[in-house]
Structure formats: structure tokens, C-alpha cells
């Protein structure tokens, strides 16, 4: 699951932020009217039970198409409050308090070293391939024509 945060949330009636306890207060999707616990909101809410991973990206304001990877997170609680939608009308909003996986208490089953991001790391890749004699392939193709 990819989740995106940025300053644009203020235009839709919410403000995502780091809380004093070290969690990230993230609002769900939905710009107008009550937020629903469906689609992306449902995925975030159930990501641990469904054994899916949650990656947070921060949209860089003013730089179209640019994002900063903030890391892998886990939902520690879901809540709801009331606040304006993008039209200024009062509505129900779902929020998710997320904690970075690096700070979460994780068991060995939660962390798979092969799935960590190793951007820029060099790897040796080996493969086997069957080599064919081009003359033999041409002769066989010609005899079948």
C-alpha cells in the first residue's frame, strides 16, 4: 500500500502531522462529504491483518511529480473526528496513527531482509541460457518451409 501526504491536505480540511508520541497522524481519503471506510481507507485499516505493507511518501509542494520516501509504517490506531471537507461543510473524517516500522516492536516474522529497499546497491546476477547453433536453426527453418 502506498500512502501520500503533503500540504495539499489543508485544502481538503485536514492537517497531517507528527504527534508528540512519535506517531504520524494521517487522514484517510475522501475530499467531499463523510469519509468512508472503503477503498484505500479500508486497506490502511486492515493492512496488518491482511499482511500487507504500508509505505509513506511525502509530496514535495511546488515541485510537480516529486515525492520523498518516508519509510514503511504500521497503523497503531484508527479514529474519527469531525471537520470541514474541501467545500467547508462539516463531515466525519477517519484518521490513522502510523508508526515507522523501524521504531515499531517487530518480530522476526515482520521483517524480511530481502524486502528492504537497497537503492543503489550493486548485485551480481547470474543466469543460464541455452545457446543455439545459428546454421542449424537456419537449416531446420529452411527444411520446414
pLDDT on residue 1: 84
Does 92 reside within a domain? yes
Does 131 reside within a domain? no
pLDDT in tens, 80-125: 889 888 888 998 988 899 999 975 544 334 434 434 444 555 556 6
Q: Are 76 and 19 in contact (CB under 8 A)?
A: no
CATH of residue 107 = 2.30.280.10
pLDDT on residue 102: 79
Does 32 reside within a domain? yes
What are the grid coordinates assigned to 118, written together?
Answer: 537497497
Determine the Cα–Cα distance for residues 83 and 92; give it in Å rounded to an integer: 7
Q: Are 35 and 26 in contact (CB under 8 A)?
A: no
pLDDT on residue 30: 85
Helix (H, G, I), strand (E, B) or coil at 91: strand
Beta strands across the sheet bearing 54-59 = 2-5, 54-59, 67-84, 90-100, 24-27, 17-18
Does 57 reside within a domain? yes
| pTM for the structure as a whole | 0.64
pLDDT on residue 118: 47
pLDDT in tens, 44-75: 898 888 888 989 888 876 677 788 888 999 99
Helices (H) and strands (E) in the chain, counts: 2, 6
For residue 5, is pLDDT > 60? yes
What would the mean pLDDT of 3-11 be, rounded to a whole number?
A: 73
Does 122 reside within a domain? no
Does 11 reside within a domain? yes
Range of the domain at 56: 2-112
What are the grid coordinates assigned to 34, written together?
Answer: 463523510
Structure-model confidence comparison of residues 18 and 124, the more confident one: 18
Rg (CA), the chain: 24
H helical segments located in the chain:
39-46, 134-144
How many structural domains does the chain have? 1
Does 71 reside within a domain? yes
Does 79 reside within a domain? yes
Amino acid at each position: 500500500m502506498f500512502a501520500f501526504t503533503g500540504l495539499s491536505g489543508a485544502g481538503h480540511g485536514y492537517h497531517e502531522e507528527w504527534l508528540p508520541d512519535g506517531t504520524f497522524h494521517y487522514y484517510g481519503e475522501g475530499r467531499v462529504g463523510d469519509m468512508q471506510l472503503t477503498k484505500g481507507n479500508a486497506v490502511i485499516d486492515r493492512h496488518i491483518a491482511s499482511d500487507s505493507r504500508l509505505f509513506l511518501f511525502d509530496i514535495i509542494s511546488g515541485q510537480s511529480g516529486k515525492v520523498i520516501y518516508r519509510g514503511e509504517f504500521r497503523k497503531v490506531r484508527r479514529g474519527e473526528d469531525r471537520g470541514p471537507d474541501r467545500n467547508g461543510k462539516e463531515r466525519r473524517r477517519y484518521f490513522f496513527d502510523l508508526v515507522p516500522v523501524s521504531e515499531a516492536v517487530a518480530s522476526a516474522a515482520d521483517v524480511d531482509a530481502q524486502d528492504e529497499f537497497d537503492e543503489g546497491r550493486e548485485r551480481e546476477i547470474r543466469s543460464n541460457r541455452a545457446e543455439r547453433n545459428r546454421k542449424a536453426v537456419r537449416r531446420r527453418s529452411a527444411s520446414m518451409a
